[in-house]
Structure 1
Amino acid sequence: MERKAGERKYREVADDLRRRITEGEFSEGRRKLPSERDLVEQYKAITTSAMTIRQALSVLRDEGLVESRVGSGWYVAEWKPIVRNALDRLFPDRWGEAESMWDVDIEGRRLDVEDLRVQLAPAPPEVARVLGVGPKVKVWHRDRRYVVDGVPVMRATSFIPDEFARGTQITESDTGKGGVYARLREAGHGPVGFREQMRGRSATAAEVDDLRLAKGATVIEQHRIARREDGRVVECSRMILDASRYLLVYDFEA
């Protein structure tokens, strides 16, 4: 019962702080939140524990509403979440008309691709099974880090069988307008179906370094496979997203 009561307290504090932030109490020019000591005083009717205040702030940090600056305190986050609508971004009219799926996500914001590596090499065993190739068969690996407005937001690795990528720009650094899926379609292997799986988890030490995350940060691990009309998998991807930078949206028609 004590644990549940403590959980209610930090969520109650988080809910009220969220309300104050969305109502503009900490507006432009005054984005810094009160110190943890001051917040304990402000919420003393709910809790007198600094740990409870920190838990509440961590909730808002994971939602992308606040950020901690070492030696300075807590601030309302200036970051605008990346709205990632899977059904919209994977719609063939997007990449079919030579529009990058990232154009859908970032809406004109600055996008940089860093640490790009393209190579023909054996696929990891679990990837080989998904692609339907032998364990020693080489496939194309496209590994890169995406940076939006100077902030690393995602590490993505795509795997494409050589028989589908050979002779296309998929094997080059720049895949051209429309990206991998447009090139696959031009080669007669255009995907008609997709499946995505996602799970949230704590970032590994390597991911903390790669995406410049806070220790203990949450990431979204996303796996996607793309199938052509006969059911053959033409690409599978593994993506690691900084959970605090994204808003995942799914629209459905009744």
Structure 2
Amino acid sequence: MPAPHEDNRPLAERIAAEIRRLIMSGDWEPGRRVPKNEELRKQFKTSNVTIQRALQILKDEQFLDGQPGVGVFVRSKPAQTIIPASYMPPSNPGQPYRWLTEATKRQQSSKYRILEVGAVAPPVEVARALGLNEGDTAMLRSRIGFLDDQPAELVNSYYPMELAQGTRLADRRLIPGGSPALLNGMGFATRSQDDVVSVRSATTDEYVHLEIPRDVPVMEIFRIVYSDDQRPIEVSVLVKPGHRFKMGYHTETP
């Protein structure tokens, strides 16, 4: 019989994990004063040094805010839940991309910055999802989305060349209403999408662009957007900082 799996991480990391869960779940609400070191020391049956190390981990990860001479507090903003279904429908005529309008509803400022637009050899998983043959290229639109001037997502979207060439998808400028509105106007309405969510460590580009603190993981959403007859018209890889966002889904029983 295999030996039981044990948590051999340093005690400070284990304590930080317990407190992080309380913050992410909302049990420790935003702005709450963290118990004094003496209370935490007794609770976790350890030394003051270990407690200080655990709290420093969470400060570095931006879960806690230390105020000299006052105390340590839970960050003022909780993790934000993103509802992917909110962004599926194309924007109404003359309206911005839904990612921007949804932010306005939450009283957040928002913007996108284009990083790269051009024909590329897509990753294998993307090529497979788009039904491309070996050696085929796809149109890449790479961008960063900001909420309240903080980087919120790094997005690489890929489109079949036969759809993208000669359109705003191949233009470095932002698309009025976003790609769903453009594709809808071209006769390729969004009918469904598949999302696969995973968690992993950040690459160097993600670490820099998203300003990832310490070794916080990122969420990756691999999204395939379909039009009529299950034709894939867009594949996006969205990466979000794991300490700032949650994904929300609503499913109804058939």
TM-score (structure 1 length as normaliser): 0.76
Confirm or deny: 8 A CA contact 2:40 2:51 kept in the other structure.
no
**SS of the residue aligned with 1:43?**
helix
- CA deviation profile, 1:91-150 (whole Å, cap 9, x unmatched): x2x535545231224634222323521112332333222211223223211001122222
Structure 2 distance, partners of 1:134, 1:19, is: 47
The question of whether the paired residues in 2 share the 8 Å contact of 1:89 and 1:105 is answered with: no
The residue that corresponds to 2:91 in the other structure is 95
Question: Is the 8 Å Cα contact of residues 125 and 135 (structure 1) preserved in structure 2?
Answer: no
> Is residue 2:149 matched to residue 1:150?
yes
| RMSD (CA atoms) | 3.6
The aligned residue for residue 30 of structure 1 is none
Aligned residue type for 1:133: L
Matched residues, number = 238
Match of 1:22 in 2: 29
Structure 1 unaligned residues grouped into runs of 5+: 27-32
Indicate the residue corresponding to 1:160 in structure 2.
159
Partner amino acid, structure 2, of 1:129: R
Say whether residues 1:224 and 2:226 are aligned partners. no
Q: 1:48 aligns with which of 23, 46, 49?
A: 46
Amino acid at match of 2:91: W
Q: CA deviation at 1:167?
A: 3.2
Q: Which secondary structure does the structure 1 equivalent of 2:119 belong to?
A: strand
- Residue number in structure 2 paired with 1:208: 207
CA distance in 1, matches of 2:201, 2:71: 23
Q: Secondary structure at the match of 1:44?
A: helix
Q: Percent identity?
A: 23
TM-score for both structures, normalised by structure 2? 0.76
Distance 1:73 1:25 in 2: 10
How far did residue 15 of structure 1 move?
7.0
CA distances 1:188-247 after superposition (whole Å, capped 9, x unpaired): 122211000011112233322221112211100111001111122111011111111213
